[in-house]
């Protein structure tokens, strides 16, 4: 996702059927809205054999560094954003369960799924394609394309298939380590030479500009206002962090999609999570407003009272 829009050797005339080597003939989205992101498939290399270190040995992560934290299947792992920004996909396991962790720097969205479909394991790579400025993963077994923010395959043999989401927390390393002191941390010894302390998207979050096509778009909030997005039974709701700050509460009880939802907001970490009434964490996505709205234009939006 790092290179602004370019001209792919296959050309736009072939975009109706193929792009970057992927068959789009059965695409569930507008094929002309799928864009070449400037990289060939796997030009951004996924991490297939990730190495982890213990929390106390994670000298490559600073207290304020943003991370994706996962606590599931009896284990806890931490994925520093500064590494994910250069690789976007990690094929991993947690508690013995295969998972795929993905991060789209253009949308600031991190999600994870159990990497199995129809009882068979899947491994994923970076397709080099985008839809609504959002990462399209592909699975190496069928070469189907998967939309990160719509949580489903959009083309290929797997089109329409959904994977089981795994809750992800987008927060600071200091806060995640305090909550999960035994968490394993993705090492910067990845086998690739990348300047992980350099942000390849420096200045992007502060700008209103977008690098790729997005539709629809809303000016209700700044394009890159962060929102906690949740989708239940086909209904979507966004909790903008600016509204949660204005509400002045760290715990918010809300009613959505016929369910009681507890939103936990950490104003210092700029992080939020959602829980069901029974205390089980719900899969959510912390992302830029423009990204959430483009995938869920009918989304409800929480507004602070008064």
Segment 91-122, tens digit of pLDDT = 999 999 999 999 999 999 999 999 999 899 99
Residues 6+ away with beta carbon under 8 Å from 184: 52, 53, 54, 55, 75, 76, 77, 78
Give the pLDDT confidence score for residue 17 in this predicted structure. 86
In the predicted model, is pLDDT for residue 56 greater than 60?
yes
Whether 172 shows a pLDDT value over 80: the answer reads: yes
pLDDT average, residue stretch 154-166: 96
Reported as a single tens digit per residue, the pLDDT across 208-241 is 999 999 999 999 999 999 999 999 999 999 999 9
List the Cα angle 152/156/157 in 5-degree steps: 90
Residue 16 pLDDT: 60
Q: Which residues are within 8 A (CB) of 209 and not within 5 positions of it... i.e. 6 or more apart?
A: none
d(CA 42, CA 136): 12
pLDDT band at 3 (very low <50, low <70, confident <90, very high): very low
Secondary element (H or E) of residue 85: helix 81-87
Q: How far apart are alpha carbons 220 and 135 in whole angstroms?
A: 24
216 prior amide bond cis, ω within 30:
yes
Q: What mean pLDDT is predicted for residues 182-194? A: 97
pLDDT of 217: 96
Residue 12 confidence (pLDDT) above 70: no
Query: What is the residue-averaged pLDDT of the chain?
Result: 93
pLDDT over 60 (residue 5): no
In the chain, the percentage of residues whose pLDDT exceeds 90 is 92
How would you list the strands of the sheet with 109-114, edge to edge?
89-94, 97-104, 109-114, 165-166
Q: What pLDDT score does 245 carry? A: 97
Q: How far apart are CA 20 and CA 17, in angstroms?
A: 11
């Amino acid at each position: 996702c790092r290179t602004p829009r370019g001209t792919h050797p296959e050309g736009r005339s072939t975009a109706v059927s193929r792009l970057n080597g992927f068959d789009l003939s059965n695409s569930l989205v507008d094929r002309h809205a799928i864009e070449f992101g400037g990289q060939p498939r796997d030009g951004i290399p996924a991490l297939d054999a990730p190495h982890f270190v213990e929390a106390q040995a994670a000298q490559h992560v600073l207290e304020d560094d943003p991370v994706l934290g996962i606590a599931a299947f009896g284990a806890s792992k931490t994925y520093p954003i500064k590494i994910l920004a250069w690789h976007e996909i990690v094929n991993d396991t947690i508690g013995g369960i295969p998972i795929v962790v993905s991060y789209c720097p253009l949308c600031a969205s991190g999600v994870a799924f159990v990497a199995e479909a129809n009882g068979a394991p899947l491994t994923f790579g970076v397709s080099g394609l985008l839809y609504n400025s959002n990462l399209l993963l592909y699975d190496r077994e069928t070469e189907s394309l998967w939309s990160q923010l719509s949580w489903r395959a959009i083309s290929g043999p797997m089109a329409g298939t959904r994977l089981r989401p795994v809750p992800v927390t987008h927060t600071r390393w200091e806060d995640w380590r305090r909550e999960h002191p035994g968490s394993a941390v993705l090492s910067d010894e990845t086998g690739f030479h990348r300047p992980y302390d350099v942000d390849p998207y420096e200045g992007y979050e502060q700008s209103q500009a977008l690098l790729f096509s997005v539709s629809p778009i809303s000016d209700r909030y700044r394009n890159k206002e962060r929102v906690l997005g949740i989708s239940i039974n086909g209904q979507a709701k966004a909790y903008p962090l600016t509204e949660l700050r204005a509400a002045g509460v760290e715990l918010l009880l809300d009613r959505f999609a016929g369910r009681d939802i507890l939103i936990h907001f950490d104003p210092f970490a700029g992080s939020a999570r959602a829980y069901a009434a029974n205390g089980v964490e719900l899969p959510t996505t912390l992302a830029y407003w423009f990204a959430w709205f483009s995938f869920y234009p009918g989304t409800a939006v929480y507004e602070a009272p008064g």
